[in-house]
Amino acid sequence: MQMKTSQYVTVNNLKIAYKRHGSGESVIFIHGITTNSFIWRNITPALSANYDTITVDLLGCGNSSTNLDADYSIKSQSEIIAELIEQLRLGRVHIVGHDIGGGIAQIMAVQYPDLMKDMVLINTIGYDYWPVQPITTMRTPIFRQLAMMSLDMGMLQKLIRRGLYKKESYTEEFKQLVWEEMGNKKRRKSFLHFAKCLNNQHLMEIADGLKKIKIPTLIIRGEADLYLSNIISTRLNEDIPNSILVKIKTGGHFIQEDEPEMLVSEIVSFYKGIQ
């Protein structure tokens, strides 16, 4: 496993952490909610021989700033990633997004097409199928579940297990990494603030834009993802020109844990196909 301390860029006085390995064309990995850059720990080692891999901690997550008065929404996060690409002078990059990170990648593909070579969306959110309303109350079940898992290790275990296809993918290490993201008062506040900032309106705004995307897009769907509807990937595949949909039967929501090698080989052959 690659263990390297974080590097930082500063955007609007907020620290954004990332880890960088390897050399070659830059690939930016964007994690989803309940995790941080650790979710890529089994993916990037296989890619860093040929690529400059950059795994980012989104604002409010991992080693990035956790200011509670900042905007953690996917729209804001996509602006931050764009700023990071500018600051690091990466030129056009490959983007890989999982869960919420896939939503951020979609916004970027519409808003900043010049910064991107292509994108990979893994078990991504999309449109308004993901069960997040503009959150102002606890009435949204997903938020209630996230709140409960942040307070109770038992609940957390249940939710993690539900996100995995293979029983053996559930490890103490993975559980601890998720728990660190929300396991104390300070992190919990930041985690819940992140959840509250999520607004599917931000994806509805770009729904039309998706149809005009020109960059190659690989959509990976874990068929055992119980958290996100399979309609999302099907519709994205329909809407985004030049998109390929790959379904992995043995992948749950946290497909990086279930099928890391398959994921790597799909991404690599996608990049090779483009060349």
Partner 1 sequence: MTSDKDKKIKELEEKISFMQEENESMAERAEEIFLLVMVSESIREINDKSIIIDTVLEKISILKDIPLCCLCQNKNNKILIQLAYTSFAEDCSFEELELDHEAFKKLENGILYLVKDNQLYTDVFDSLTKKNFNPRSILIIPHKSISNELTYFLFADDDKDTNRFSEILTLIHEVINIMSDKLDNLYLLEQLRKINLDLERKISDRTSELWETNRVLRKQIEEKRLAEEELKLKNEELNNFVYRVSHDLRAPITSVEGLINIIKLEMQSKTGDLKPFIDLLEDRMKNLDRFIYDILNYSRNIRSVASTDKIDFESIISNCFDELEYLENAPEISRSVAIDSNPFYNDKMGIHEIFRNIISNAIKYADRNKKKSTVSIHIKISTEEALITIKDNGIGIRKDVLPKIFEMFYRGSERSKGSGIGLYLVNQAIVKMKGKIDVKSTFGKGTEFIVRLPNKIKMASQ
Footprint on this chain of partner 1 (rule: CB under 8 A): 66, 68-69, 136-138, 141, 144, 147-148, 150-152, 185-186, 188-189, 192-193
Task: Give the shortest CB-230-to-partner 1 separation in angstroms.
Answer: 23
Distance from the Cα of residue 255 to its chain's centroid: 12
Backbone dihedral angles phi then psi of residue 115, each to the nearest 5 degrees? -90, -10
Q: Which residues contact 186 (CB under 8 A, 6 or more apart)?
A: 66
Q: Which is nearer to partner 1, 121 or 197 (CB)?
A: 197
Task: Give the shortest CB-60-to-partner 1 separation in angstroms.
Answer: 12
Task: Give the shortest CB-170-to-partner 1 separation in angstroms.
Answer: 22
Q: Which is nearer to partner 1, 111 or 157 (CB)?
A: 157
Taking alpha carbons only, the member of 24, 25, 29, 22 closest to residue 48 is 22
Helix (H, G, I), strand (E, B) or coil at 18: strand
**Beta strand spans in the chain (E):** 7-11, 14-21, 25-30, 51-56, 93-99, 116-124, 217-222, 243-248
Q: Which is nearer to partner 1, 141 or 241 (CB)?
A: 141
Q: Which is nearer to partner 1, 135 or 207 (CB)?
A: 135
Task: Give the shortest CB-68-to-partner 1 separation in angstroms.
Answer: 5
